[in-house]
């Protein structure tokens, strides 16, 4: 388990002329008479692990954007602790806080926050400019990340010449340029067209595979939360009502609010292959193929059998029905597409359309982990059985 990078404890944010007095009365059940106060974040605690993609989601007005702004003190919390690598940001001076923001945090906003009178490269290098990085080094770094986000050749153009999706890439590049430890995304893709939005989600996930940063991502879209996040926190009226993986939340909603929130979510887009994978399907080594037609375990199998090499890597599926003799055993091995255990069930549908046996599940090195059968997928998609399937992976 990765170490805790960001630790938020008992955080409150009250808006109004006398927030501390209001909060003190509220805590002590004094029946505060103070008017014109609003509790935006209510006694919230959360922990974000190093390298994690942590999503905070909720409907408009739930407090999610206020919460993340409190994490960096862009909005001053009324009470509580926010610890970054063990240091409480709430107790820091403005000078100390400014240094931490420059060195460890970056933010990507919904409305880009770009400087329209500057070129792309100058926008991307803006954070480095604030740090005092010399012009030449700043531009070299800016062009490097511009290329990384797919904007090579656009560095000298003004941002006003770019489409919305391209401008959001500039915002992402600006965040990456300062090499932050933590990147906060505040509904960064919600203003984009659906196709561009999916492309940007994929871009972010691809970049995260390489850069391995700690990410806090804000959204109101549960499917986006499931796609982006390792864990999801759902907020309502300033409180976090549930934290878990997408599968855990769909399988065990904490209350009626969460249940209604996720009731229309297609389960095939949430449940992962590892939840329905069978690790005990019959398997053959390549060297056993010639003996396969007389192997009792294989003879009893009604479906093609997985074949692995001497290092356990998946080689194909052996069909006993086409292996008339040991001499034809090698030719009975069929190439079959495989999936990773973190793939979602929707990725299996097209594979089942072209292969009537179980779909192999492999790790990053191609080693066979197990297989997924059609009946298990259908069983997992039935609402009454979802919790049982998720519990297998706990």
CB 166 within 8 A of CB 151: yes
Q: How far is the C-alpha of 370 from the C-alpha of 385, rounded, in Å?
A: 21
Span 113-127, pLDDT tens digits: 788 888 999 999 998
- pLDDT for 226: 93
Query: What pLDDT band is residue 193 in, cutting at 50, 70 and 90?
Result: confident
State the average pLDDT over residues 269-286: 89
User: What's the confidence (pLDDT) of residue 32?
Assistant: 57
CATH, residue 221 = 3.40.50.300
Q: Which domain holds residue 355?
A: 274-391
| Tokens standing for residue 333 | 């091995």
Q: Which two tokens stand for residue 12?
A: 């409150």
Encoding tokens for residue 334?
A: 């069929």
pLDDT over 70, % of the chain: 88
Residues 307 and 250 in one domain: no
Pairing state of beta strands 4-15 and 333-334? unpaired
Residues 239, 235: Cα–Cα separation, whole Å: 5
Dihedral sign for Cα 277, 278, 282, 285, please. Answer: positive
CA distance 207 to 201: 10
Judgement on whether residues 321 and 387 belong to the same structural domain of the protein: yes
Residue 388: pLDDT band by 50, 70, 90 thresholds? low
Query: What's the Cα-to-Cα distance from 393 to each of 71, 252, 271, 341, 386, rounded to whole Å?
Result: 32, 14, 11, 11, 12
Residues 255 and 164 grouped into a single domain: yes
Same domain? For 45 and 154 the reply is yes
pTM > 0.85: yes or no:
no
Mean pLDDT computed over 309-316: 90
pLDDT in tens, 50-61: 999 999 999 888
Q: Does pLDDT of 287 surpass 90?
A: no
Which residue has better confidence, 204 or 294? 204
Q: How far is the C-alpha of 347 from the C-alpha of 340, rounded, in Å?
A: 10
State whether 23 and 57 are in the same domain: yes
Residues 6+ apart with CB under 8 A from 190: 110, 197, 219, 220, 221
Do 294 and 251 share a domain, yes or no? no
379 pLDDT above the threshold of 80: yes
CATH classification of the domain holding 383: 3.10.580.10
Provide the mean pLDDT of the chain.
87
* Residue of 350 and 25 predicted with greater confidence: 350
Average pLDDT over residues 165-172: 89
| C-alpha to C-alpha distance for 199 and 255, rounded to whole angstroms | 33
Residues 232 and 260 in one domain: yes
The bridge status of strand 182-186 relative to strand 105-109 is parallel
Q: What is the pLDDT of residue 296?
A: 46
- Exposure b/e, 57-90, CB count within 10 A at least 16 = b: bbeeebbbbbbbbbbbbebebbbbebbbeeeebb
- More confident call, 287 vs 155: 155
69 and 26 assigned to the same domain: yes
pLDDT value at residue 294: 46
Look-up: residue for tokens 């070129």?
119
Cβ–Cβ under 8 Å, residues 285 and 261: no
Query: Are 88 and 183 members of one domain?
Result: yes
- Asked which of 250, 266, 282 is the last residue of a domain, the reply is 266
Give dist(CA 314, CA 327) in Å, integer.
22
How many residues make up the chain in this entry?
394
pLDDT, residue 273, reads 95
Confidence of residue 30 (pLDDT cuts 50, 70, 90): low
pLDDT of residue 383: 62
pLDDT tens per residue, range 217-253? 999 999 999 999 999 999 999 999 999 999 999 989 9
Average pLDDT over residues 101-109: 88
Indicate the number of domains in the chain.
Answer: 2
Identify the domain boundary among 266, 282, 308. 266
**What pLDDT score does 130 carry?**
86
Q: For residues 100 and 90, give the distance between their C-alpha atoms in angstroms, rounded to a whole number.
A: 12
Same domain assignment for residues 63 and 131: yes
- pLDDT value, residue 91: 93
- Mean of the pLDDT values across residues 351-378? 92
How many Å apart are CA 307 and CA 289, to the nearest integer? 8
Q: Please give the average per-residue pLDDT across 284-295, as a whole number.
A: 65
Q: Which two tokens stand for residue 130?
A: 């604030």
Write down the H helix ranges in the chain. Answer: 19-27, 64-71, 94-104, 120-124, 126-131, 135-148, 164-177, 194-211, 222-228, 246-251, 256-262, 296-299, 349-352, 374-381, 386-391
Whole-angstrom Cα distance, residue 51 to residue 73? Answer: 22
Residue 189's alpha-carbon distances to 109, 165, 172, in angstroms, are 9, 8, 11
Q: Which one, of 103, 156, 151, lies nearest residue 130 by Cα? A: 103
Q: Are 71 and 168 part of one and the same domain?
A: yes
Q: Which of 70-84, 169-183, 255-269, 278-292 has the lowest mean pLDDT?
A: 278-292
Which pLDDT does position 160 carry in this prediction?
A: 86
Looking at residue 324, its pLDDT comes to 53
Q: What is the mean pLDDT of residues 179-208?
A: 89
Whether 58 and 157 map to the same domain: the answer is yes
Nearest to 183 by CA among 127, 85, 104, 100: 104
Are the CB atoms for 253 and 241 separated by under 8 Å? no
- Boundary residue ending a domain (266, 286, 319): 266
The span from the CA of 58 to the CA of 262, in Å, is: 11
């Amino acid at each position: 388990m990765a170490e805790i990078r960001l630790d938020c404890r008992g955080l409150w944010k009250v808006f109004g002329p006398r927030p501390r007095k209001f909060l003190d009365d509220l805590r002590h059940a004094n029946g505060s008479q103070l008017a014109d106060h609003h509790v935006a974040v209510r006694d919230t605690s959360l922990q974000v692990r190093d390298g994690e993609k942590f999503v905070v989601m909720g409907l408009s007005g739930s407090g999610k954007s206020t919460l993340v702004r409190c994490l960096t003190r862009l909005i001053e919390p009324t009470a509580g602790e926010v610890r970054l690598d063990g240091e409480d940001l709430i107790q820091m001076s403005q000078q100390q806080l400014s240094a931490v923001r420059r060195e460890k945090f970056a933010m990507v906003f919904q409305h880009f926050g770009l400087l329209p009178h500057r070129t792309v490269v100058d926008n991307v290098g803006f954070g480095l400019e604030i740090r005092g990085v010399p012009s030449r080094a700043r531009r070299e770094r800016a062009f490097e990340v511009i290329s990384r986000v797919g904007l090579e050749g656009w560095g000298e153009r003004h941002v006003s010449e770019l489409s919305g999706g391209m401008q959001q890439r500039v915002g992402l590049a600006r965040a990456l340029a300062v090499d932050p430890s933590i990147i906060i995304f505040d509904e960064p893709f919600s203003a984009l067209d659906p196709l561009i939005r999916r492309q940007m989600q994929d871009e972010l996930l691809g970049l995260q595979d390489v850069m391995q940063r700690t990410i806090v991502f804000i959204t109101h879209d549960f499917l986006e939360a499931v796609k982006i996040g390792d864990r999801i926190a759902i907020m309502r009226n300033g409180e976090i009502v549930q934290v878990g993986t997408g599968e855990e939340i769909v399988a065990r909603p904490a209350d009626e609010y969460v249940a209604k929130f996720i009731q229309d979510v297609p389960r095939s887009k949430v449940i992962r292959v590892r939840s329905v994978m069978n690790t005990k399907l019959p398997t053959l080594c390549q060297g056993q193929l010639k003996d396969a037609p007389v192997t009792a375990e294989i003879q009893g199998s009604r479906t093609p059998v997985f074949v692995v090499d001497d290092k356990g890597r998946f080689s194909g599926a052996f069909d006993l029905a086409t292996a008339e003799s040991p001499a034809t055993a090698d030719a009975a091995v069929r190439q079959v597409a495989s999936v990773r255990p973190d793939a979602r069930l929707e990725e299996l549908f097209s594979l089942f359309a072209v292969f009537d046996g179980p779909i192999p599940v492999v790790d990053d090195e191609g080693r066979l982990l197990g297989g997924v059968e059609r009946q298990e997928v259908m069983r997992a998609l039935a609402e009454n059985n979802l919790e049982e399937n998720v519990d297998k992976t706990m």
